[in-house]
Amino acid sequence: MLYSGEIGYVKSSDDSGVTVLFATGDGCDDCGLKIVCAPGKQSERMLTLPQPGDFQPGQKVQIEELANLELHLALIQFGLPMLAFLVGLLLGYMMPFQHILPRELSAFLLASVGLAFSFFAARHFVQRIVDIIPEKYLRVTPCA
C-alpha cells in the first residue's frame, strides 16, 4: 500500500492542514506510484493533508490508508482500456459494415477507437482521484 502504516514527523500544522515529513526508503527509487509524494533534496518526502488537528511540529504520526488507492488506480489504468477495447471489438463484429470493410478490420478499428477513448477517460478519472486522495484515502493519526 502507498502510505498505510508509514510513520513520519509533523513538519507544520495549522487550521487548513498538516504537513508530514517521511524519510525516503530504499523502495522509493523503483516506486511507480509517485502521485502524492515527491522525494526531496535531503532524501525526504513530504505529504500535505487537509486534515486539521492538534499536531505539534516534530510530533511522530502514522498515516492510515482508508480505501485501497492502488486497486482503484489499477482498475482505471488497466481495466478501463481492456473493457473499452472489448466493447469496440464486439461492436465492430456486430455493426453492419461488411459491405464497406471486412468484419475483422471494422472490429479492429472500432476497438482502437474504444482504446483511444479510454485513454482520455482514464486520464480524467485518475486526475479526479489525485484531487481527492487526501480527503478520501489518507488520514493522519498520532503515534502513542
Domain that holds residue 82: 69-133
Quick check: 45 and 14 in contact, CB under 8 A? no
- Let me know whether 61 and 77 are in one domain: no
pLDDT tens, residue by residue, 70-118: 788 888 889 999 999 999 999 888 887 667 888 888 889 999 999 999 9
- Let me know whether 35 and 73 are in one domain: no
Is residue 2 in a domain? no
- Residue in this structure with the C-alpha cell 485518475, named with its chain if needed: 126
pLDDT at 1: 45
pLDDT at 135: 67
- Let me know whether 58 and 22 are in one domain: yes
- Let me know whether 77 and 122 are in one domain: yes
Is residue 86 in a domain? yes
**Predicted confidence band at 9 (pLDDT cuts at 50, 70, 90)?**
confident
* Helix (H) or strand (E) run with residue 62 in it: strand 60-65
- Let me know whether 98 and 59 are in one domain: no
pTM: 0.58
State the alpha helices, DSSP H only, in 8-102. 69-74, 80-94
Compute the average pLDDT of residues 42-71.
Answer: 77
Alpha carbons within 13 A on the beta-carbon side of 127: 6
